[in-house]
Amino acid sequence: MDVILLKFAQRTLSLFCFHFLILGIPSWFLFPPQATPTDSDAVLVMAGASDGRHKLGATLVTDGFSENSVVSNASGIRDKVGFAHCRGGARPENAKETWCLKADPVTTTGEALAIGRLAEAKGWTSVTAVTNRPHTRRVRTNLEQCTDLEVQVVSVEEIDTTRAPVYVVREVAGYIKFWLNDPC
């Protein structure tokens, strides 16, 4: 009887672990807690797809949550949407200052280090980062670990569900790389 109970417990644990890996980890990335925007010294739009993050970042500045707009734009003019929001006609009209941020390295950690340097030079103590939903947790981790800033992360609501597996793999790999390399 004990052998049967032990095998049942092993199968149950295996099934639980399998479901956790298949459902739990993706859910953790795809459905992060959503921050309600509050005032900050700067709004930072993280580099990436033109998925609405640039428009959301500009809206936050226009709505008065910050007077400083920072767009991570390592590709320069080749990233037409990002460039338009930091140097072109899509800049928030009421922004006191707008920056095109060129991270080196061109990674989430590089962006965190670059905004940390800019914040230190400007005397900022807080930042609102804007990104896509799956990237929210890793952005928060990088900014909190690599800067002294008070951080809030706001994400665009929409997500391309067909790319969800790619997002999850990218975020898991990014976390592994971050924790193994201690890049800050």
| pLDDT at position 47 over 80 | yes
Least confident of 46-50, 61-65, 101-105, 145-149: 46-50
The burial of 23, by beta-carbon neighbours within 10 Å (0-12 exposed, 13-18 middle, 19 or more buried), is given as exposed
What contacts 51, CB < 8 A, 6 or more positions away?
Answer: 132, 156, 158, 160
What pLDDT does residue 56 have?
95
Mean pLDDT, the chain, integer: 88
What pLDDT does residue 91 have?
85
pTM of the model: 0.85
What pLDDT does residue 21 have?
66
140-174 pLDDT tens trace: 999 999 999 999 999 998 888 888 888 888 888 99
51-99 pLDDT tens trace: 889 999 999 999 999 999 999 998 888 888 888 888 888 888 889 999 9
78 alpha carbon, distance to own chain's centre: 21
The CATH architecture assigned to 34-181 reads 3-Layer(aba) Sandwich (3.40)
What pLDDT does residue 111 have?
96
What pLDDT does residue 33 have?
83
Distance CA 30, CA 157 (A): 11
What pLDDT does residue 23 have?
65
Give the domain ranges of the chain: 1-30, 34-181
